[in-house]
Amino acid sequence: MIEGFVRNAFVVVLVWVLSRLFSDPRNPWRVLDWPNARSLHDRPVPRMGGLAIVLGTSLGLAVGPWSLSWRLELVALAWALVAAGSWYDDVRGLSARIRLGLHGLAAGLAVWAYLHWPVSWLPHATLALDHPVALLFMTLFLVWWINLYNFMDGMDGLAGGMAVFGFSTLALLGYRAQDLSYAEVSLTVASAALGFTLTNFPPARLFMGDLGSTTLGFAAGFLILVGADREDFPVWVGLVVFSPFLVDATVTLMRRLMRGDKLATAHREHYYQRCVRSGFSHKKTVIGEYFLMALCSLCAYFAVGRPASFQWAILASLMAIYGLLAVLVGRWEALREGNGKASY
């Protein structure tokens, strides 16, 4: 226990030091994120924070108290593929097709090497699929999480904060299930995210870039499936933990699809972006998101092992809260624009 605390404290400090180094204007290797149609920032900001997260996580996992197998080595290779492609995209740029192909290859490799179909998806309900269909579904699940996290990385402190809350909660769920190796892996990712977020909190001195968002998205999707596969918790609990990102990204995508918008076009229609555009500061918006993340983490943790009626009540309550928040954001926008017409 003490060894794990020291290791993760070292990861926090290491990533914080690297983040400070990568944000230094005198750093000749820094890559700048210039404002565009999707951005909420109005000045160029270095976006090498993902490299600090990947290096800190990799070092923390490399010295951890677990034995490697060829299956875990293939998962590490899949994570490295996502990281390498995203790093190149940050520096040089990649087409959407090549990025999606790399994500599919990495997700398929990780699923084939390590994952089994977790049958417990909803409260006290099981879902069984044939092996080929299960592999395809889990691969698509991972690809969606890689891109979902990337979609949501658009505001100071948001993606890093979600990683701190999300992976810390997965670690607590692992400790509760006495799955110490799973808990330690999750906590290492959370520690790396915390070290970065200390530099990314508004006003951000450093962004994580695609390298950070895609690797965190891969880790989130993979660890949700692993935790369910090891029966630490059902899949829906892991989804609740990260639901502030899952709901925003999915609902925004569906709204754009129904309007016939081009999905590849840059936009600022995520709910957190709409809050900032409606007059809320970055800091107030991200702190509000942190409260929502904390609420979802508490709901997920206390739902495990409870009766089905209690678990369904939690899901229904969270759906009601998200619906209310969507209505409030639409009302705020309408008041800001002065037309009285809200968009949800």
pLDDT, tens only, 76-103: 999 999 999 999 988 888 888 999 999 9
129/325: higher pLDDT = 325
Q: Name the band, by pLDDT with cuts 50, 70 and 90, for residue 38.
A: low
What distance in Å separates the CA atoms of residue 337 and residue 277, rounded to the nearest whole number? 10
Half-sphere exposure at residue 288, Cβ-oriented, CA atoms within 13 angstroms = 14
pLDDT of residue 324: 95
pLDDT of residue 36: 60
> Amino acid letter at 162?
M
What distance in Å separates the CA atoms of residue 158 and residue 200, rounded to the nearest whole number? 9
> How do beta strands 120-122 and 45-46 pair?
unpaired
Q: Name the band, by pLDDT with cuts 50, 70 and 90, for residue 53.
A: very high
Classify burial at 104, counting beta carbons within 10 Å of its beta carbon; exposed 0-12, middle 13-18, buried 19 or more: middle
What are residue 44's phi and psi, to 5 degrees? -65, 135
Cis-peptide, bond into residue 28, ω within 30° of zero: no
Are 244 and 296 in contact by the 8 Å Cβ rule? The answer is: yes
Partner residues linked to 125 by β-bridges: 122
* Portion of the chain with pLDDT greater than 70, in percent: 91
**Residue-wise over 221-236: b if at least 16 C-beta within 10 A, else e?**
bbbbbbbbbeebbbbb
Mean pLDDT lowest among 135-149, 205-219, 263-277, 291-305: 263-277
Q: Does residue 151 carry a pLDDT above 70?
A: yes
Q: Name the band, by pLDDT with cuts 50, 70 and 90, for residue 261.
A: confident
39/2: higher pLDDT = 2
Q: At a CB cut-off of 8 Å and minimum separation 6, what does 70 contact? A: 113
59/335: higher pLDDT = 59
pLDDT of residue 331: 87
- Residue whose C-alpha is closest to residue 59's, from 17, 13, 11, 20: 11
Are 311 and 254 in contact by the 8 Å Cβ rule? The answer is: no
